[in-house]
Chain A
Amino acid sequence: QLQLQESGPGLVKPSETLSLTCTVSGGSFSSSSYYWAWIRQPPGKGLEWIGSLYYSGSGSTYYNASLKSRVTISVDTSKSQLSLRLSSVTAADTAVYYCGRLIKASDAVEYWGQGTLVTVSS
């Protein structure tokens, strides 16, 4: 059974960089049948796709156009970890951040992490 667990600081200061890690157990990043994503949910709002990474040897990334200039998603296969970096954060970036694995054939999020709340505040 695949398990995903997000981790990182729960509090980030405005203008700083948010860094989160998603540790994956029970599965591999390299399967061509899946891809990986970061998704967030601001308090009281809906889900927002942040970006995706398809690891088929090279690690192609795709980002939400509204966040593209500030987002970096990467993978460390030796640690089975997916990472998210979001720079120049503001209060609007306060959210529960989820990592997920999507089925490539259907673009559905088959597995989700539990989510981690990140608050942007001084």
Chain B
Amino acid sequence: QSALTQPRSVSGSPGQSVTISCTGTSSDVGAYNHVSWYQHHPGKAPKLMIYDVTKRPSGVPDRFSGSKSGNTASLTISGLQAEDEADYFCCSYVSSFTVVFGGGTKLTVL
């Protein structure tokens, strides 16, 4: 399976909103609602931010939201904060116990 497509980088100023896209195919993102998003600060373990397209784990701020349209899922971060600067990865179910990740997007808070 091919990696999901994400923009290499996005940026925004504190307080603004940014959206990161994740494009797959009708066999992964478009077919299932098992899309998740991860925040990754270099040198640390990735952190689950969104699962099942729109759900937030306990403790994740509601500034983080997810959506999906067709073969593209999106992560929106509103009210940007300096600590949001990180790499973000999407992930989609493909088949039983098989997932595929995106190439990652570097978020810069200006």
Residue of B nearest to A104 (CB): B97
B69 sits at the interface (CB 8 A):
no
Residue of A nearest to B36 (CB): A108
7 closest A-B pairs by CB: A46-B103, A108-B51, A108-B36, A47-B101, A112-B45, A107-B93, A52-B97
Q: State whether A109 touches B46 (Cβ < 8 A).
A: yes
**B-chain residues with CB within 8 Å of residue A47 when the two chains form the complex:** 38, 46, 89, 91, 101-102, 104
Chain B min CB distance to A90 (Å): 19
30 contacting pairs across A/B (C-beta < 8 A): A35-B97, A37-B99, A45-B103, A45-B104, A46-B3, A46-B89, A46-B102, A46-B103, A47-B46, A47-B102, A48-B3, A49-B99, A49-B100, A49-B101, A60-B97, A62-B98, A103-B51, A106-B36, A106-B55, A107-B36, A107-B91, A108-B52, A108-B91, A110-B57, A112-B45, A112-B46, A112-B47, A114-B44, A114-B45, A115-B45
Residue of A nearest to B98 (CB): A62
CA distance A98 to B102 in the complex (A): 16
Q: State whether A52 touches B46 (Cβ < 8 A).
A: no
Category for how many chain A residues contact B: 20 to 34
A54 sits at the interface (CB 8 A):
yes
**B-chain residues with CB within 8 Å of residue A113 when the two chains form the complex:** 45
**B-chain residues with CB within 8 Å of residue A35 when the two chains form the complex:** 97
Interface string of A52-65 (1 = CB under 8 A from B): 10100000101001
Given A37-B99, A98-B46, A107-B93, list of 10 further CB < 8 A pairs? A35-B97, A46-B6, A46-B103, A47-B89, A47-B101, A52-B98, A108-B34, A108-B51, A114-B44, A114-B45
A89 sits at the interface (CB 8 A):
no
CA distance A114 to B46 in the complex (A): 8
Chain A min CB distance to B12 (Å): 21
Residue of B nearest to A114 (CB): B45
**B-chain residues with CB within 8 Å of residue A84 when the two chains form the complex:** none
Residue of A nearest to B45 (CB): A112
Q: State whether A107 touches B99 (Cβ < 8 A).
A: yes
